[in-house]
Chain A
Amino acid sequence: MLFAIPLAWLQLKRERMRLFIAIAGIGFAVFLMFVQLGFRDALFNSAIRLHENVNGDIMLISTRSNSLISIQSFPQRRLYGVLGAEGVDKISPIYVGFGLWKNPFWEGLPKSQTRQIMILGIDPNDDVIGVSGFDANARSLIRLEDQIFFDKKSRAEFGPIPAKFSELEKKNELITTEIADRKVTIAGLFELGASFGADGNTITSEANFLRIFTRRDKGDINIGVVKLKEGADLYKTLEAVKKSLPGKYTVNPTLTPSEAREDFVVGEMRVLTKKSFIEVERKYWQNSTAIGFIFTLGTVIGFLVGIIIVYQILYTDVTDHLAEYATLKAMGYKNRYLLKIVFQEALILSIMGYIPGCILASFMYTGTRNATALPLIMTTERSILVLFLAITMCLVSGAIAVRKVQDADPADIF
């Protein structure tokens, strides 16, 4: 692949302006792919953030639930039924509801005073949500009537809660506001983060939850969390759970046998391990919404833009050097040598364009992360994936552009 004279590099270097434009173009395509893939992964990661932080081994949800934002309720007695199963240590309910939050520090129009927020109701006796800031002390605080915990990573539209909270804390005062027209007090802050489905989060006790959502009945829960006994086998316990639930056992026929072990339906209950609980949510956003598709399409567009840019650059380059290439052929160079030059140029361009594109994307990730509270980070996997895409992009362009090399006919230049 290497020659004593690196002609590909020397040719690129000689045309500085063109090289600069090529790098800018490829860098842009790389940046676009990073943006699209980054947002897609951020969406999926934000959507499963709560799922990852639920402390439990087996989850029960209604068969009618698709995702957290449209979660359906089921009777808590189903969860009690599972308590007797071999291997089960503890059970705990989670109530999920969405209500309008009133910004207590509203600055007036045109900003809206209210915004929909997610409210989780838990049993204060159980350590069921393991997020930073929500400890045993927090759980005892939410026992008090109308006391809630607020997610400090919620979007700014809910008001400057975190700043005001620490300011008022010094004066021993607390922030009071309204959720779904119920007066509540912010007893503390925890850290989870906004998602595409929920712009902000709060946690309170099940009693307070039912005070806010007056139309919800006690025992009408959304997620049943099951904890295993120390050393209990997950799959044996799943079998026991299966037997303890009434109704017919069915599995989704599209699942593989190993997936079906961790995701099955008994009667009106869907039984999931924590792993598949996360996976189901991710798959919902990925496959059942337009969002996953849109970002994938965006990546494809970035890829195609890159191909066109690199093709234009390589085509112009080959055209400019056509007489030189014909001369090389007349000197006895094989066609293969010229093809190698074009592909080497493509490879050099892809790597030189990748570097600024990647750096720019890192800055954009940091900026977006600070502005939107979405978990946008430059992962190794994604940087390798985009590098791979960038190289593929340039090689495809190279493969189209080399056809022009065939035009370098030495019989014509004589």
Chain B
Amino acid sequence: MTEPIISIDRVNHYFGSGNLKKQILFSIHADVDPGEVVIMTGPSGSGKTTLLTLIGALRSTQEGSLKVLGEELRNSTEKQRVALRRNIGYIFQSHNLLKSLKAKQNVMMALELHTHLSSQEQADMAEEMLKAVGLEDRMNYYPDELSGGQKQRVAIARALVSNPKLVLADEPTAALDKKSGRDVVEIMRSLAKDRGSAIVMVTHDNRILDVADRLIHMEDGELESYDLETQAPPERAIALG
């Protein structure tokens, strides 16, 4: 059996301190295998995003054990987390592209961290990636000159160009219409499958739940998991999702 890419064991998380201390996550337990596409649903304020920022090494884990790509994040230092982030691809709710850079340069920003690549290699990889997301004729456009769907496709190219083993996406379709939202997740899924990257996606958009291998539902800081191949998603998850 392969080692899971994310292994979450009894993770609790709190915000605030003293009298205002509030528990957000309650004894979360979950595993994600390499190459798996997992969609996390749940109402606003249920703690999905908090869990995603923990997995993404943007916060330090307070209680329990959280291993991402074999790295324990409990009591991790800022330096360890920065190093880990370089091996994770991120796709944000808003595209968060750098406005001053062209599409190709934005994708290259993800490669600059990998110093063994020459700038020519970086440019070639970025071009190839933009072709894969169908933007070969938009490489030298600034984000302002692209549509919402195109921007999010650049963001996907940026997240995937360094071949990360794990891609995290926080409501990537929230700002998109039905058609472009669908296109974006399809591209994301097929590219991730080609490269063997696992995807953890948080979404409210129940039109795209079928791209997942597995659905997990978060409610009031607790997780429920469903395997889409063996059982149908519960009505509740869809309704709330």
Contact with B along A327-339 (1 / 0, CB 8 A): 1111111100000
Chain A, interface SS category:
helix
Do the beta carbons of A414 and B108 come within 8 Å of each other?
Answer: no
Interface residues of A (CB under 8 A from B): 3-5, 7, 10-11, 13-14, 321, 323-324, 326-334, 410-411, 413-414
The reply on B101 being an interface residue by CB < 8 A is yes
Task: Tally inter-chain residue pairs, CB-CB below 8 A.
Answer: 76
In the complex, A324→B56 CA distance in Å? 17
> Count of B residues near A, CB < 8 Å?
33
| Structural contact, B112 and A411, CB atoms closer than 8 A | no
Knowing that A329-B85, A332-B86 are A-B contacts, what are 11 other residue pairs whose CB atoms are under 8 Å apart, sorted by A's residue number? A7-B100, A10-B105, A11-B100, A14-B100, A321-B99, A327-B92, A331-B90, A331-B113, A332-B87, A332-B88, A414-B49
Q: How far is the CB of A173 from chain B (nearest CB, A)?
A: 73
Whether B58 contacts A324 by the Cβ 8 Å rule is no
CA A129 to CA B172, docked complex, whole Å: 85
Please list 20 pairs of residues, one from A and one from B, whose beta carbons are closer than 8 Å in the complex, sorted by A's number.
A4-B122, A5-B105, A10-B101, A11-B100, A321-B99, A324-B98, A326-B96, A327-B96, A329-B82, A329-B85, A331-B86, A331-B90, A331-B110, A331-B113, A332-B84, A332-B86, A332-B88, A414-B49, A414-B56, A414-B92
In contact, B113 and A411 (Cβ under 8 angstroms) = no
Which 9 pairs show the lowest CB-CB distances between chains A and B? A332-B86, A332-B85, A4-B119, A14-B100, A327-B96, A11-B100, A411-B58, A10-B100, A410-B58
Q: Are B96 and A324 in contact (CB under 8 A)?
A: yes
Contacts of B113 on A, CB cut-off 8 Å? Answer: 331-333
Assembly CA distance A414 to B84 (angstroms): 17
Give B56-93 as 1s and 0s: 1 = Cβ < 8 Å from A's Cβ atoms.
10110000000000000000000000111111101011
Residues of B whose CB lies within 8 Å of any CB of A are 49, 52-53, 56, 58-59, 82-88, 90, 92-94, 96-101, 105, 108-110, 112-113, 119, 122, 142, 170
Bound Cα distance from A411 to B54, whole angstroms: 9
Q: How far is the CB of A336 from chain B (nearest CB, A)?
A: 10
A323–B100 touching, CB < 8 Å: no
Do A324 and B82 contact each other (CB < 8 Å), given the known contacts A330-B56, A331-B113?
no
